[in-house]
Amino acid sequence: MTEIEYPTTREPSCPFAPSAAVREMTRDNPVGKVRIWDGSTPWFITRHADQRALLNDPRLSIDEKRAGYPHMTRARAASAPHHPQLITNTDPPEHTRLRRTVNAPFMVKRVEAQRPRIQEVLDDLIDDMLDGPNPTDLVQAIGLPVPTLVITEILGAPYQDHELFQHTSHVLISHESTPEEAAKAGQAIGAYLSELLDRKIAEPGDDVVSEMGARVVAGEMTRPEAITMANAILIAGHETSASMISLGTLALLRNPDQLALLRENSDDPKFVANAVEELLRYLTIVHSGIRRIANADIELHDTVIRAGDGIIFDLAAANWDDAEFPEADRLDLRRPARQHHAFGYGVHQCLGQSLARVELQVAYGTLYRRIPTLALAVPFEEVPFAMEGVAYGLKSLPVTW
């Protein structure tokens, strides 16, 4: 059997859906294989129930330094041996220790406390947008600046540095970057964050880098760990939230009944919270698969995954698995969607998910209420998608009101 090349390309006629080839594997071939950039053929797991079982199975490892690990990109494969021990490349119990050292700023009550400030940031941006030219690009006006402002405030970095952040994070996560470009971007941001860490150790503030600085001084964390972690927060919290705000808006404009429903229920926090879960499920922007390697032989649906084999989990496929979400191709803001895998599943589930939820609840709960006449300024077919990254998004979203 010939394996499909992965990541696959979504059909332009149906850009929110996982590709037909991936959906076919969910139906017919739950323990299949795909071919990735280096020619290797890791296992490919697409069903929601299988992902839930395996992503919590201690026989799977996230140790990216092991031979046979199915790396996302050539650049990631080249840099993996040089990474310090991080939450993104260690298994429990080391992972548990590391995660607990960086978790405090992302606790539910800490991010809930940010809600009024996030609301203020968004309201100011909407004021500026309404005062500016019409039509405009929602990605530039709202999508990108919201997470940029939020994450730079949380880290304690000055906003005037946001262009450096946006550019570097894009280069680091793009499939189009060469290892040299990625390494250069990594060095630039590393140097910046190293300097920021020194400033925050000297003059601590109420922010994450100051908190990590205190842990470095106390000997609970090394400098490289703190810098790499700050970098990861910056990148992970940035383009992802931006994409969700812009893509969510486009998906709602494509589903006017759902948009109307959301607008009518904007003052009901429970409704908005569930709408966020459903949009996370429906869009599942992390679309190039999360990666593991088997520590032991694992039997699944009468197939044996051998110790040392690589495994890829396609999160979008699981979130479009009709067995778990009936009529999964339908955006339904009322459906129970909380069990989605948009943030992954298992001990490595997204560290910043609570912050992302608050950002999206504020964004979706405010944007369409304040701009009830929001509409696309170009035909849907002309909206430019950015498909090449680890997460997909929009290059721009021309809107009018």
Partner 1 sequence: MRVEFDEPKCVAAGQCAMVAPDIFDQRDDDGVAIVLDATPGPEHFDEVREAAAVCPAAAIRLVEA
**Binding residues for partner 1 (CB under 8 A):** 56, 92-93, 95-96, 99-101, 103-104, 106-109, 338-339, 344-347, 349, 351, 353-354, 357
Least Å from the CB of residue 204 to partner 1: 17
Identity of the residue, 343 or 392, whose beta carbon is nearer to partner 1 in the bound complex: 343
399 Cβ contact list (under 8 Å, min separation 6): 135, 136, 137, 138, 249, 374, 375, 376, 377
**Cβ contact 381:266 at 8 Å:** no
Tell me the CA end-to-end span of the chain in Å, nearest whole number: 51
DSSP assignment of 343-399: T-SSTTS-TTHHHHHHHHHHHHHHHHHH-TT-EESS-GGGSPEE-SBSB-EES--EE
Beta carbons of 401 and 134 less than 8 angstroms apart = yes
Closer residue to partner 1 in complex, CB, 306/338: 338
CB of 86: closest distance to partner 1 in angstroms? 14
Element (H, E) at 305: strand 303-305
> What is the identity of the amino acid at 244?
M
Nearest CB to partner 1, comparing residues 104 and 307: 104
Question: Minimum CB separation from partner 1 for residue 278, in Å?
Answer: 15
CB nearer to partner 1: pick between 108 and 304: 108
**What distances in angstroms separate CA 110 from CA 97, 107, 354, one per listed residue?**
20, 5, 9
Alpha-carbon dihedral sign for residues 241, 244, 250, 252:
negative
Minimum separation from the CB atom of position 325 to partner 1 (A): 15
DSSP letter for each residue of 213-256: HHHHHTTSS-HHHHHHHHHHHHHHTTHHHHHHHHHHHHHHHHSH
User: Which residue's CB is nearer to partner 1, number 336 or number 384?
Assistant: 336
Min separation Cβ 171 and partner 1, Å: 29
**Pairwise CA distance, residues 146 & 363, whole Å:** 9
Q: Which is nearer to partner 1, 104 or 130 (CB)?
A: 104
Of 299, 288, 313, 318, nearest in space to 388 by CA: 288
| Smallest separation, CB 99 to partner 1 (Å) | 5
Closest approach, Cβ 319 to partner 1, in A, equals: 14
Considering beta carbons, is residue 105 or 389 the nearer one to partner 1?
A: 105
Structure tokens belonging to residue 224: 């490289």
Nearer to partner 1, 103 or 400 (CB): 103
Q: Which residue matches tokens 């969910």?
A: 26
| DSSP string covering 198-210 | HHHHHS--SSHHH
Q: Which is nearer to partner 1, 50 or 309 (CB)?
A: 50
User: What is the nearest approach in angstroms of partner 1 to the Cβ of residue 132?
Assistant: 36
Strand-pair partners of 33: 43
State how far the Cα of 77 lies from the Cα of 92, in Å rounded to an integer. Answer: 22
**Which is closer to partner 1, CB of 108 or CB of 130?**
108
**Of 355, 219, 179, 204, nearest to 276 (Cα)?**
355
Burial class (CB in 10 A: 0-12, 13-18, 19+), 380: exposed
CB of 112 to partner 1, least distance (A): 9
Nearest approach in angstroms of CB 108 to partner 1 is 4
